[in-house]
Amino acid sequence: MANVLKREKQIQILRLLSEGNSIRSTERLTGIHRDTIMRVVVRFGNQCRDFLDDSLANLSVRNIELDEIWTYVAKKQKRCRGNDLRNQTIGDQYLYTALDADSKMLITFAIGKRTSEVTAAFVADLEKRIVRQPSAEADDIPQISTDGWGPYMPSIARSFGRSARHGVLIKQYVDPSVGRYAPPDLVRTERINIRGIKDLGTICTSHVERLNGSIRLFMKRFTRLTYAFSKKLENLAAATALHVAVYNYVRIHRSLGCTPAMAAGVIGELWDMDRLFDAVGEHANRKIRDARLGKLLGRLRSTDI
């Protein structure tokens, strides 16, 4: 792909998509065919996922908020029939997000059905990125705030044990079925201490719920009542990885005055899209070199035997 499109054209495509443009609007603006645009997104998005996996690690965080945001692939779940009902790659999908409430960094994400298995894998991935505190009873161990989705409780207990505090915030509305284009009126909230939280007022999911609005704004695939939904799950995953990389490393958060990655201490200066493109590409090339070196060493060992 890099031999077909110049670096500047690829960056232009990624910049337009990261600002909320759809595939077809990007096609009209750049004059590049939509299939080529999609191949750029998938290739770079997959590289972004590997880059995020390696760069967002050993993080010291205090307040983590978890949430899920709905979308769908190919068709909505109510349109699925027959074999489509058993196909995990189409129908309703959920983007799980883990946000550091202090630095506003999106620590990790997962895409899949809203099931116990996907929830457990998401929480386990989150746990691997957090630095464990030496004292399990200290007040400075990470606090995790979630909504009332049931599988969160056993998943967090299994992955974190006593190395994290957990609280649940449940919001009750007048009538959730009323109001198609506006949220129903909030009646009351209930905060529940699952483990280790002394001040129930600190249980909060407002920041990660606000992040949902940014996701729907900057990712056309999540914008409701449009034709910009994903046709393939792999395309949705790649586009999401691109958005997360741009959100963490490039886009300045208005409440911080810097990017979330800077606020979290992951990087020390502002990045632009060019810097992100080069960093992700260099990381991908390094992984390819390491894989080739590993294969060569394996062959040499087998020859010695």
Confidence of residue 225 (pLDDT cuts 50, 70, 90): confident
Are 75 and 172 found together in one domain?
yes
Q: Give me the pLDDT at residue 304, please.
A: 60
Are 154 and 248 found together in one domain?
no
Beta bridge partners of 230: 73
Q: Give me the pLDDT at residue 278, please.
A: 97
Q: Among residues 204, 231, 258, which one ends one of the domains?
A: 231
Domain that holds residue 84: 57-231
Compute CA distances 39 → 16, 51, 123, 227, 237, whole Å: 15, 18, 30, 19, 13
Dihedral sign for Cα atoms in the order 285, 248, 117, 176 = negative
For 88-130, how does the pLDDT look when each residue is reduced to its tens digit (9 = 90+)?
Answer: 999 999 999 999 999 999 999 999 999 999 999 999 999 999 9
* Paired tokens of 129: 């990125």
**Count of structural domains, the chain:** 2
Output the pTM of the full model. 0.91
CATH of the domain at 66: 3.30.420
Contact 270, 259 (CB under 8 A): yes
pLDDT higher for 51 or 290?
Answer: 51
Are 76 and 49 found together in one domain?
no
Are 208 and 81 found together in one domain?
yes
Domain assignment of residue 236, yes or no? no
Secondary element (H or E) of residue 173:
strand 165-173
Are 103 and 8 found together in one domain?
no
For 234-290, how does the pLDDT look when each residue is reduced to its tens digit (9 = 90+)?
Answer: 999 999 999 999 999 999 999 999 999 999 999 999 999 999 999 999 999 999 999
Q: Which of 165, 172, 125 is nearest to 147 (CA)?
A: 172
- CA gap 8, 5 in Å, rounded: 8
Are 226 and 116 found together in one domain?
yes
Domain assignment of residue 10, yes or no? yes
Q: Among residues 210, 231, 252, which one ends one of the domains?
A: 231
